[in-house]
Amino acid sequence: MPRRSTRQVHVGAVAVGGGAPISVQSMTTTKTADVDATLTQIYALAAAGCDIVRCTCNEPEAAEGLARIVPRSPVPIVADIHFHHKLALAALEAGVHALRLNPGNIRKPDQIKAVATAARDHGIPIRIGVNGGSLDPDIEQRFGGATPEALVASAVRELDYFREVDFDDVKISVKASNVPVMIDAYRLLAETVDHPLHLGVTEAGPVPAGLVKSTAGIGTLLAEGIGDTIRYSLTADPVEEARAGRQLLEALGLRARKNVDLIACPSCGRAEVDVIKVATDAQAAFADRQIPLQIAVMGCVVNGPGEARDADLGIAAGRGRGHLFVRGKIVRVVPESEMVAALVAEAEAIMSEGFDAVLARADADAEAIAAATRDELIQIQGIDANRDADRINRVRVVTDRT
Ligand code: SF4
């Protein structure tokens, strides 16, 4: 997937643009002045794959909180600034790694330039964070609404103010809650500037709609090579934003896998277990553990190991037992109640000892037990467990196609 070429900025140790890996961002929901609660959330976000965290800096106490948070944070911290340019100056003194300014609500040129000058002197980048819901009213009037052209014009005007004070260490976002508007705004922005772009669908809402909208907007642009850092804006625990962002990048092959990629069959008439429950339990058991394996939960041993033969590790149910397979080979048979625990133990063994060691100590009779169970199930259920062949014959009778 060719990427748009951009200049590069650094948010602390994280490079953005200029060929750097696409980073995942999220934002804390705690009061920034509550340092312990905010740091707890930042650590949870980092564990879920978040590379950069933004905290609101909406009051002097928040700026003081940032002075304590920044040196203790495992990831770079961006201060989110609205309305009060002095809080941007305070956040710089607190040691933040970047600022986000909303051009729609800090509009006085001398204030904008004062912040850009201070950021330049501190060597700190700024994100110009245009938002369709809080666009500068005169730009909105000029363009007849929050159109893609209006969003880009707002960003370019801010950039011009910055350049007047010789500051260009900038990444840009032009977020809208309307997905087609957001996509067109970023496409236009990508043609207009060479700065790195921060992608997001603003106010996307709760899951699942928020996930769908964000993935549609961000995923479309990433597939076109546009975008250098991303944020899902969900009405949910921010850890879900980080997980979603990370998973999107991994799904598109833009970041290496960090956590478990859990796949599961959709279940069908053959299922020998409640696949949804086992998959949910497995997801909870692995959570954000750094086990970069693809792990499969399959409802039956008749088709499961074959359908998931490309997974690193998996389990398939059959006759009250779980058939554990590694790279398609059945290595162990465990009681159904131990399926999830067995998956976790085997994943840990693969991580610590490697695939060869785990495959070398496979139970000698596991394949034979699985084959016998498979035959038994086919005897009981028939080759066609969903009985669709019967149904198709009945359809053909009705439609005179026998
Ligand atoms: Fe799952 Fe087996 Fe049905 Fe495939 S055939 S969907 S593995 S239960």
Cis peptide before 103 (omega within 30 of 0): no
Are the CB atoms for 254 and 225 separated by under 8 Å? no
Residues 265 and 369 in one domain: yes
Find out whether the beta carbon of 299 lies less than 6 Å from any atom of ligand 1: yes
Residue range 197-204: average pLDDT?
A: 96
Q: H or E element: which one contains 331?
A: strand 329-335
Predicted confidence (pLDDT) per residue in 127-141, tens digit: 999 999 999 999 999
Q: Please provide the average confidence, as pLDDT, over all residues in the chain.
A: 94
Residue 390 has pLDDT above 80, yes or no: no
Which pLDDT belongs to residue 341? 96
Residues 94 and 208 in one domain: yes
Q: How many CA atoms lie within 13 A of 311 on its CB side?
A: 27
Total domains in the chain come to 2
| CATH code of 46's domain | 3.20.20.20
DSSP sequence for 57-83: --SHHHHHHHHHHGGG-SS-EEEEE-S
Domain hosting residue 328, numbered range:
261-381
Query: What is the Å distance from ligand 1's center to 338 Cα?
Result: 20
In a domain, 396, yes or no: no
In a domain, 343, yes or no: yes
Query: What is the Å distance from ligand 1's center to 303 Cα?
Result: 6
In a domain, 346, yes or no: yes
Q: Output phi, psi for 287, to 5 deg.
A: 40, -125
Residues 351 and 276 in one domain: yes
Residue 68 has pLDDT above 70, yes or no: yes
Residues in the chain: 402
Residue 387 has pLDDT above 70, yes or no: no
User: 249, 28, 13, 46: which is closest to 125 by C-alpha?
Assistant: 13
In a domain, 339, yes or no: yes
User: 213, 195, 188: which is closest to 203 by C-alpha?
Assistant: 213
Residue range 152-156: average pLDDT?
A: 97
Residue 338 has pLDDT above 90, yes or no: yes
Residue range 396-401: average pLDDT?
A: 86
Which pLDDT belongs to residue 169? 98
- pLDDT-based confidence at residue 384 (cuts at 50, 70, 90): low
Residues 242 and 280 in one domain: no
Count of C-beta atoms within a 10 Å radius of residue 168: 15
Residue range 57-84: average pLDDT?
A: 96
Residue range 260-282: average pLDDT?
A: 91
Residue range 1-23: average pLDDT?
A: 96
Cα separation of 175 and 135, whole Å? 10
Residues 49 and 189 in one domain: yes
Residues 369 and 238 in one domain: no
In a domain, 393, yes or no: no
Residue range 370-390: average pLDDT?
A: 79
How many percent of the chain have pLDDT more than 90? Answer: 85
Residues 184 and 45 in one domain: yes
Residues 301 and 230 in one domain: no
Residues 148 and 73 in one domain: yes
From 263, 275, 303, give the residue whose CB has the most ligand 1 atoms within 8 Å, as the site to mutate.
303
- Domain boundary (251, 285, 309) is at 251
Residues 215 and 266 in one domain: no
Which pLDDT belongs to residue 229? 98
Residue 218 has pLDDT above 80, yes or no: yes
In a domain, 186, yes or no: yes
In a domain, 212, yes or no: yes
Cα separation of 312 and 326, whole Å? 6
Cα separation of 243 and 286, whole Å? 13
Higher-scoring residue by pLDDT: 380, 147 = 147
Q: Which atom of ligand 1 is nearest to the CA of 300?
A: 2
- Domain boundary (226, 251, 276) is at 251
Find out whether the beta carbon of 298 lies less than 6 Å from any atom of ligand 1: yes
Find out whether the beta carbon of 24 lies less than 6 Å from any atom of ligand 1: no
Nearest CA to ligand 1 atom 2: 300
Are the CB atoms for 158 and 101 separated by under 8 Å? yes
Query: What is the Å distance from ligand 1's center to 339 Cα?
Result: 16
Higher-scoring residue by pLDDT: 59, 401 = 59
Whole-prediction pTM value?
0.86
- pLDDT-based confidence at residue 244 (cuts at 50, 70, 90): very high
